[in-house]
Chain A
């Protein structure tokens, strides 16, 4: 492998990569696994199948999924607008998009909780007009996660839209396609892999999110308690083993889900990209 590569420095760079993966990713995570070895299987199953734990898993993954889907949809629209149209204050909007990246998530959480709580500005409005309560419900968690994860979608989709060859659109139009057909058959399929990546990032971020969620969620067991909070609670009670068991389970589920998303992406692009390695005639 190192011989066939035209890039010099294969050894040092692969070495660095392995050290990084080892020190920063694998060792901490494997500690988690080793720690859980203190448990026997029955204890592990007992902790995991606890009703409160199970419902927190359900809350965490369902809200993350919902938030990632919504962020995917609206993030795509935001990216589309930022790339396709020029309007007054575009640069300002551009900078605004990244703000959730930089803001301490707890700040975002407190702000969201303040305006969405039943007596808060937006919270009151929503309860009065639609009878919908956002705060202290899974809906509140979804709100917080959308806020946090939209930039991931925008920033992954944007460069792909920017690079998109407008002549492909023109070609489709010249062949008689309507605007809708151009979007559905030409633009969207080309952007979809990036959108899926953005979705996966948003989802992963959502599952791990803690700071912005706990304030607006209200953390009511069986209703709006998320897994990260449960882990922290266990730790505060010096139940390290219990926390580890939950953390490990979450790790495995997240890993499997991300793997599935990656596989999905591979399937989508495989036909186009794998074959391109063939000799050109």
Chain B
């Protein structure tokens, strides 16, 4: 089911949570609503679900206006941040809930419910826990039960609010992969909210970046990373070094490979992996760069450089390169380095 939001605005008192949002989500996508906390992403998700009503604007699901439909009639599945499992019911009854509350004419028989619930529990690989209570489950298990419960009513849209937010790092990694695979198998249009850009890039097929109640950019993860629409997106997605031209020694930037001709704005954003460093042979000149420290990030090395400005101030610059490449440079702390910038994004 496709989702179309037009002119959605929402205020809480004087705080503008969402400001004239227009968004189209094609059928079958796995979309991440990404943004810093307080950017309105959860509010947007709740408006799509019908848990919150927008001050203005329309919500269209599959081309039909559902703005005035109650959450119970929108045919969505919602997975809450803290799962919101029914504490007084077993796992089985939790998953069966959506089927049992159907109007009598639509309600499936007990045998059908039983089969369906066990199928869903098998899908999330937790059928063996069917007679447990939510209090007895771990965070990751609760998450998957909440997902099974939402899927039981065969929603045409699946909405997940910070689905991995409350889990520890290793469980989170597993579940991300698992959610991707599940989406691939079920192919139900899904939207999840996250503040973790890594998670959004890893899981989603489309990323929508929000800030201050507005959409900054929408696109495939790779697109957003390679072509950030503005300085906020560039800074929020991935690591970036920010150079303000008026503060920078122009000569220095030129030496580093950013010629005047390339300048298209006042601010240059440079990804750490777009910085290449070499041991410096020259000595004693102004504005030199020294190696301060480095950290191992698995296959990559993150290098912290300090640039001494002509005005006496220092600035940190981060570079990244593969392990073996770094080793071949034979650098140690305090060494002077030459640095070359391969590519920069320019903003005003």
Chain A interface (Cβ < 8 Å from any Cβ of B): 165, 167-168, 170-178, 181, 185-186, 189-190, 271-273, 275-276, 278, 280-281
B286 at the interface (CB under 8 A from A): no
- Range of interface residues on chain B? 20 to 34
State whether B84 touches A275 (Cβ < 8 A): no
In the bound complex, CA of A175 to CA of B154 (Å): 10
Q: Give B167 Cβ to nearest chain A Cβ, in Å.
A: 14
> Which residue, of A189, A273, A281, has the highest number of chain B Cβ atoms within 10 A?
A281
State whether B78 touches A278 (Cβ < 8 A): no
In the bound complex, CA of A165 to CA of B97 (Å): 17
B80 at the interface (CB under 8 A from A): yes
Chain B interface (Cβ < 8 Å from any Cβ of A): 49, 51, 70-73, 76-78, 80-82, 84-88, 97-98, 101-102, 132-133, 135-138, 141, 146, 149-150, 152-153
Q: Which residues of B lie under 8 Å from residue A276 when comparing CB positions?
A: 133, 135-136
Q: Give B233 Cβ to nearest chain A Cβ, in Å.
A: 31
Q: Give B143 Cβ to nearest chain A Cβ, in Å.
A: 13
Q: Which residues of A lie under 8 Å from residue B80 when comparing CB positions?
A: 167, 170-171
Q: Given A173-B71, A275-B133, A281-B138 in contact, is the A168-B84 Cβ separation under 8 Å?
A: yes
- Output the nearest chain A residue to B155 by Cβ-Cβ distance: A174
Q: Given A175-B98, A175-B149, A176-B153 in contact, is the A186-B138 Cβ separation under 8 Å?
A: no
Q: Given A272-B133, A280-B138, A281-B138 in contact, is the A172-B88 Cβ separation under 8 Å?
A: no
Q: Given A272-B133, A272-B135 in contact, is the A170-B51 Cβ separation under 8 Å?
A: yes
Interface of A is mostly: helix
Q: Give A278 Cβ to nearest chain B Cβ, in Å.
A: 6
Among all A-B residue pairs, the 10 with the closest Cβ atoms: A175-B98, A167-B84, A171-B84, A177-B101, A174-B78, A276-B135, A189-B88, A167-B80, A173-B71, A181-B101
State whether B88 touches A190 (Cβ < 8 A): yes
In the bound complex, CA of A181 to CA of B101 (Å): 7
State whether B153 touches A175 (Cβ < 8 A): yes
State whether A170 touches B153 (Cβ < 8 A): no
Q: Given A275-B132, A280-B136 in contact, is the A178-B101 Cβ separation under 8 Å?
A: yes
In the bound complex, CA of A142 to CA of B140 (Å): 52
Q: Given A272-B87, A276-B135, A281-B138 in contact, is the A172-B49 Cβ separation under 8 Å?
A: no
State whether B136 touches A168 (Cβ < 8 A): no
Q: Give A270 Cβ to nearest chain B Cβ, in Å.
A: 11
State whether A176 touches B98 (Cβ < 8 A): yes
